[in-house]
A and B are shown apart, each in its own frame.
Chain A
Amino acid sequence: MSQMAPNLPSNVEAQQEKSSGPWKEAWRSFKKNKIALVGAIIVAFFIILALFGPLIAPQGINEQQLSERLKAPSTDHWFGTDDFGRDIFSRIVHGARLSLMVGFLSVIGSVVIGSALGIIAGYYGRFIDAIISRIFDILLAFPSILLAIAIVSVLGPSLTNALIAIAIINIPNFGRLIRSKVLSIKQEEYIIAAKAIGMSDFRLLFAHILPNSMTPVIVQGTLAIATAIIEAAALGFLGLGAQAPQPEWGKMLSDARVYLVNAPWTMIFPGLAIMLTVLGFNLMGDGLRDALDPKMKN
């Protein structure tokens, strides 16, 4: 007890210092989290690769040189060459753009549609809620990859369709998240007050309820990007995502599995690329959760 007492004033001070806004506060606590920072750095690294890929990569995506096929890593080809004699390093750098694009766009898609449905379900309740929630239940009843395969086989195999499929399978996750958040915010006094002064539903929803239910979505979104990248790679691996000669990592893995014994580098590097990006997003997502979730604070 006697030790606690002197600490008290400094704690209070610290809290006063921090009270300069919730986002800044979150950033501060995120910064303190070393592991999350590592995640953020990895993510930033791959974003740079994606943005400046063509400048970084020594070769294009499909510069075949059959005489140079399956060459081990060397100074000419840092990651070796694949079965068409293409530079694997270049293809991985170009592939970053595809993977991140699928990750971001699919999550944005599912966040937008999921939020819209979730808000409507949560705010209006009753039978609208029942219908939307049952649709979510149905979507969630399928193993996600199976649903994605089904969607892609209807739309036809391509990276864009894989992106759409991944967006669709993630809709219920975000929808449910927002719905539960809306259900609790709906009861808050400021919402009731706004309603009482006659604010329109539309404004209420998009100016007050939505912004206040966004934090869990950001956390969930970051983690979902990681899952989306894996799912895109899985679809690519199954031949249902990216098509030749697109340098999508999952597709590269699948093309390389024949050479697992003879030329392991054709598998190792795309595999590492997938693993690192996913790890990056997961670490960053965990850090964000710690930083943004008020319940996690001590």
Chain B
Amino acid sequence: MKKKRLLSLGLLLVLVLSTILAACSSDKKDDATGNKDSGDSKKEKILVFGRGGDSVSLDPITVTDGESFKVTQNVFETLINFGEQDTKLQPNLATKWEASEDGLTYTFELQEGVKFHDGTDFNAEAVVKNFERWMSGDAEKFPYFASMFGGFKGDKEAVIKEVKADGDYKVVITLNRAQAPFLKNLAMSPFGIASPTAFEKEGDKFGDNPVGTGPFKFVSWKRNDSVTIEKNKDYWKEGLPKLDKVIFRSIPDNSARLNALNTGEIDLADGIIPSDAASIQSNSKLQIFERPSMNVGYLGLTVTRPPFDNVKVRQAVNHAIDKQAIIDAFFEGKAEIAKNPMPSVIEGYNDDVKGYDYNPEKAKALLKEAGYDGKQIELWAMPVPRPYMPDGQKVAEAIQKNLADVGMKSKIVSYEWATYLDKAAKGEADAFLLGWTGDNGDADNFLYTLLDESNIGSNNYTFFKNKETHKLLLEAQTETDEAKRNELYKKAQVILAEEAPWVPLAHSTPLLAGKADIVDFKPHPTGSDILSKIDFK
């Protein structure tokens, strides 16, 4: 009896203790994530970046979405970098590069004295190991590698033949066929160089514990809540980064995110809806940042699913949607009407393509001609605000009405973001809203990545297939003469407009808002910002 009492007393003690301990640990956390103004003696500079969605994975090579790159861009570095606010090539981990006359061999000289966050040396061997890892994967594992470099080891259309180290700080990449945007491709966020020690050890789990050479080190990831990264004290670029810590918080609701910015819970917010811009500008505590536009928002029509397997139905939908009204209402005019699958700032844009005017009567006639049976379609709307479309749900409702006007019934469907992308990539949607922010400023990154048959299963969500465009796009990849190359893209855009796998909707100017004391923040057109230079006044 006495023993029992003692036991229960002991248990009680443990319970009380654990409660106290739990309370302590949460206190500590509060301090760590606390406001930078809290008068900490060290004055830690913490930037809380509020964004619309969580990352899918933090291993950049396994993903294609912007939210993932937003974080990995700061943990990993690519061999070549883009300019501060453009897509001109700049040295990064590679200090110099040289292409052979035939465009089949590239030699890179690497930065010396760089270490990964886990202490592993960055050298030619590490680069080779990264390429080996990528090249021995498959489209399921590394979708973006497949899109950008034609395929994997042994694939017929693979661009990269082999990657070899030449000494400690020189890498030679040999190609199977010349690829005009090869260097631009290498500069893209997914091709950040990862620590070989870490990915060999972690395998598929590398995305939960990423290790790169970037200005920030990965600290923690609470799914659907926040990703925390901290200053890499041994960063090889002198004096950078300026911040001690960056916390990426996902707040899917636009107004909740703006509210969080107003209350000081976050310092920087993306996905600002244009209608809120005026009130932010009039607030002296806040400032607006405009991201240079390089995107397209579109309604994809899955060509393998009826009724969109019929080109007439797809054209009809193009005529049915009142793009201007949608842009005026839900982009507040902060967007251009889209008629091609890529924005006009990209070389090779075809301005001669007429595009489809808003014409419900013509749409009805086309539907009739196509023998559309009145079957209800599923209209997928993005659950999260995207830079190319601040409010997918509202745009979907407007489109739903446009379609109803021409006699096409639709049901709006939405899934959680990662599921949405996954299902759409498998071709499960009839019509879906989506968009794309260019990752390297090249036409190839729009037309080939999004609409070529080689990318069915990765980024070609409409399953569109066309022999002519396939030929043109592959030819453009190897064509090194700029003028000829642009001509090929222009031709492809004519066919794409005719075949209408998409309804291109808008090219938007994405807005961000931040506290007034933020300095040196220059949003990058690709949507992935390197936050090493950003600072507080």
**A257 within 8 A of partner (CB):** yes
Is A66 in contact with B412, judged by CB distance below 8 angstroms?
Answer: no
A247-268 interface bits toward B, Cβ cutoff 8 Å, 1 = contact, 0 = none:
0000000000110111000000
- Contact A84 to B401, CB < 8 A, known contacts A66-B329, A244-B412, A257-B255: yes
Is A258 in contact with B398, judged by CB distance below 8 angstroms?
Answer: no
**B305 within 8 A of partner (CB):** no
Which of A67, A84, A261 touches B398 (beta carbons < 8 Å)?
Answer: A84
Is A244 in contact with B329, judged by CB distance below 8 angstroms?
Answer: no
**B186 within 8 A of partner (CB):** no
**A64 within 8 A of partner (CB):** yes
Main secondary structure of the interface of A (DSSP, over half): loop
- Contact A62 to B325, CB < 8 A, known contacts A258-B273, A261-B279: no
Q: Chain A interface: which size bin?
A: 10 to 19
Contact partners of A261 in chain B: CB under 8 A: 279
**B394 within 8 A of partner (CB):** yes
A228 to chain B, nearest CB (A): 25
Contact partners of B394 in chain A: CB under 8 A: 83-84
**B81 within 8 A of partner (CB):** no
**A245 within 8 A of partner (CB):** yes
- Contact A245 to B325, CB < 8 A, known contacts A83-B394, A258-B255: no
Is B401 in contact with A69, judged by CB distance below 8 angstroms?
Answer: no
B490 to chain A, nearest CB (A): 33
B348 to chain A, nearest CB (A): 33
Which of B254, B273, B397 touches A84 (beta carbons < 8 Å)?
Answer: B397
A220 to chain B, nearest CB (A): 36
**B326 within 8 A of partner (CB):** yes
Closest to B393 in A: A244
Contact partners of A245 in chain B: CB under 8 A: 397, 400-401
Is B275 in contact with A262, judged by CB distance below 8 angstroms?
Answer: yes
Contact partners of A67 in chain B: CB under 8 A: 325, 328
Closest to A62 in B: B401
From B400, B401, B404, B411, residue with most partner A Cβ within 10 Å: B401
B310-325 interface bits toward A, Cβ cutoff 8 Å, 1 = contact, 0 = none:
0000000000001001
**A15 within 8 A of partner (CB):** no
Contact sample, A vs B, 27 pairs, CB 8 Å cutoff: A62-B401, A64-B401, A66-B322, A66-B325, A66-B326, A66-B328, A66-B329, A67-B325, A67-B328, A83-B329, A83-B394, A84-B329, A84-B394, A84-B397, A84-B398, A84-B401, A243-B411, A244-B396, A244-B397, A244-B400, A244-B412, A245-B397, A257-B255, A258-B254, A258-B255, A258-B273, A261-B279
11 more contacts with CB within 8 A, not counting A69-B329, A83-B394, A261-B279, are A62-B401, A67-B325, A83-B329, A243-B412, A244-B393, A245-B397, A245-B400, A257-B255, A258-B254, A258-B255, A262-B275
Q: Residues of A with Cβ closer than 8 Å to B?
A: 62, 64, 66-67, 69, 83-84, 243-245, 257-258, 260-262
Q: Residues of B with Cβ closer than 8 Å to A?
A: 254-255, 273, 275, 279, 322, 325-326, 328-329, 393-394, 396-398, 400-401, 404, 411-412
